[in-house]
Structure 1
């Protein structure tokens, strides 16, 4: 009995020590990243389109302090913060225009990219304005591109990030699944169209996550974070068609940035 009690005490002590070490390690990792620079790359989901309060100096890139990169920087005070994500960006735009701030001192990089390469805006325009059959055909065309052509484009971006910022923690974030099926919407797209669009988002995320993992990068599952907050959920963190601000359509609201994207980045950074 005495030996068993001693072993139990030793085991408990070691477990507590391990937890303490793990917590200290996580805090040290966060401090290390804050001590280095933070560079936020990507497209409109990173620039914050849909969240409002756009910085006039960012022009058509439509960056906002309500976007998750700006929120993370405000909370963690990195040594430097370069917010270069831009609405409409494709993989080629990241390579050509956004990698300049990366260097050996960069501690954290975040990124959303791939949706525009796959023709996101055209898919949604087609589905809103045309028939279900035409919508589904356009979605399938986008899915074929995602499977055949997007992986190499992502590889080019991911490789260049590592080349320019060899010590950075790179967090690749995905995209929301747009619709809650059989939800509260009584008008708009058909369930068949919503199902097709969700399936395309799932495929896009699976390709992005696989390529990120192959480069040793952390992947943030945004679809999971937005579950319960899709369009037709009754508590959406996404704009549907917004006729008074069409560019905001199908983008996260300010709540989607702070309640969806930011916690996922926090968990990976």
Structure 2
């Protein structure tokens, strides 16, 4: 009985998202050439079906750019997002697994490109990677404390916050280059969705110490603020997905999570990465901006 109720809830949510996306797309106008740039939160590791151009980029045909393209029907859609990308991958080739290379992502831009979405910044200075590799291992020593925040605080200075501050000019420079290469494009910076809940804990899914949940939220919030400021300084638009994903964090139950927890799922999502429902949710938020 519980399984049936869950199926109905998930189906209803999917129908609502589809309706929202379709309505927003009809108001967005005609797009000639849409280019999607970004890291794994854009590419969608393990979300079916994975593309092979190159396979190492873990680029899904159901990521939010693909959902947007299906709704907007651009004449040309180019998705060059790639797992592991940082701002340097926008202008230089990126080596990926299987001895493959993803070309500089900005090479996909053309003079006639009129829509660009960008989801980047979380991999600069190894930001997300360092947190996710370090924080779970520190929980056992102080499950009710904030050992990860303490670990990254050196001589009273939050080194993660320092990295976030330094990401702003990098993203701003990329956005400026996009405008130069595609002067007629509408450029949209897509923020990162919420990983941890506003309150409460789920150590079986998100194995951070309780005090580090608030810190993780603050890190994400500060990163998104840096992206928003960079967009404003570079005459681009910013789409907040952190706020709209409240209640859809990794701890969310009943099929409402947008982000996967610690367990890798080869047929759904990489650990700590967006699920297909999350990609649909982000697409719906972006389409509201496009209206």
2:237 counterpart residue number: 218
Structure showing greater Rg:
1
Are positions 1:142 and 2:160 aligned together?
Answer: yes
2:261 counterpart residue number: 240
Q: 1:154 to 1:107 in 2, by over 3 A?
A: same
Are positions 1:163 and 2:184 aligned together?
Answer: no
Q: Which one has a larger percent helix, Structure 1 or Structure 2?
A: 1
Q: 1:267 to 1:194 in 2, by over 3 A?
A: same
Alignment of 1:179-198 (within 5 A): 179-183=196-200, 185=202, 187=204, 188-198=207-217
Measured in 2, the distance between the counterparts of 1:179 and 1:42 equals: 22
Measured in 1, the distance between the counterparts of 2:46 and 2:137 equals: 21
Runs (4+) of structure 1 exceeding 6 A deviation are 26-29
1:264 counterpart residue number: 285
2:28 counterpart residue number: 30
1:52 counterpart residue number: 48
Q: What runs of 5+ residues in structure 1 fail to find an aligned partner?
A: 1-25
Measured in 1, the distance between the counterparts of 2:25 and 2:71 equals: 14
1:18 counterpart residue number: none
Superposition deviation, residue 150 in structure 1:
1.2
Measured in 2, the distance between the counterparts of 1:267 and 1:31 equals: 12
Are positions 1:229 and 2:248 aligned together?
Answer: yes
Superposition deviation, residue 190 in structure 1:
2.0
Measured in 1, the distance between the counterparts of 2:109 and 2:136 equals: 39
Superposition deviation, residue 83 in structure 1:
0.5
CA deviation profile, 1:204-257 (whole Å, cap 9, x unmatched): 000100110111211110101211111223232111101455981111100000
Aligned residues of 1:127 and 1:189 also touching (Cα < 8 A): yes
Aligned residues of 2:25 and 2:287 also touching (Cα < 8 A): no
Measured in 2, the distance between the counterparts of 1:69 and 1:244 equals: 21
Aligned residues of 2:65 and 2:283 also touching (Cα < 8 A): yes
RMSD, aligned α-carbons: 2.3
TM-score normalised by structure 1 residue count: 0.82
Aligned residues of 1:50 and 1:251 also touching (Cα < 8 A): no
Measured in 2, the distance between the counterparts of 1:67 and 1:156 equals: 25
2:132 counterpart residue number: 124
Alignment of 1:54-133 (within 5 A): 54-96=50-92, 97-118=104-125, 119-131=127-139
Q: Number of residues paired by the alignment?
A: 240
